[in-house]
Amino acid sequence: MSLKVEVTTDLELCFALRRRVFIEEQNVPEEEEWDALDAVAIHLLMTHEGRPVGTARLIIDGEAGKIGRVCVLSDMRGTGAGAALMRFAIGHLAARGDLTKLKLSAQTYAIGFYEKLGFSAYGPEYDDAGIAHRDMVLSL
């Protein structure tokens, strides 16, 4: 499979993917999807044979890197694309050399996916935009 993941400044493509997955598929309210962190985040774009198929955003918070807004188009789920996107995000943040841990907020159905990438769930389940989540962490 010809997947490519890179840091991008093309926010329109990233936002279009997030709109399709989070707002249209998962019914996340539009006002909860967009926030001021988009302006300071590092945005990742994943393409398959040139077609945008996934995105994520990375935020630096002191010694922690936060991976968020991870999404892959439905026709690419189960192909290894999400794992490729996450491995790139983890590698990009780890390469900085100044972070001690990575954090994310996982939809509960995806906890097993993130555990396979080395993350551990902690704390209680909570509601975010009508979807059950748990916090997860990976020590670097």
* pLDDT, tens only, 76-129: 999 999 999 999 999 999 999 999 999 999 999 999 999 999 999 999 999 999
DSSP state for residue 62 in the 8-state scheme: T
List, in order of start, the domains of the chain with CATH numbers: 3-98 (3.40.630.30)
CA distances from 88 to 16, 23, 36, 85 (A): 21, 25, 24, 5
> Are the C-beta atoms of 29 and 129 separated by less than 8 Å?
yes
Question: Does pLDDT of 3 surpass 80?
Answer: yes
* pLDDT, tens only, 16-58: 999 999 999 999 999 999 999 999 999 999 999 999 999 999 9
The enclosing H or E element of 16 equals helix 11-18
Structure tokens at 49: 């044979």
Contacts 24+ apart (CB under 8 A), 35-44: 37/68, 38/11, 41/68, 42/7, 42/92, 43/7, 43/8, 43/9, 43/10, 43/11, 43/14, 44/5, 44/6, 44/7, 44/8, 44/14, 44/85, 44/88, 44/89, 44/92
Give the model's confidence band at 71: pLDDT under 50 very low, under 70 low, under 90 confident, else very high.
very high
pTM: 0.95
* pLDDT for residue 1: 67
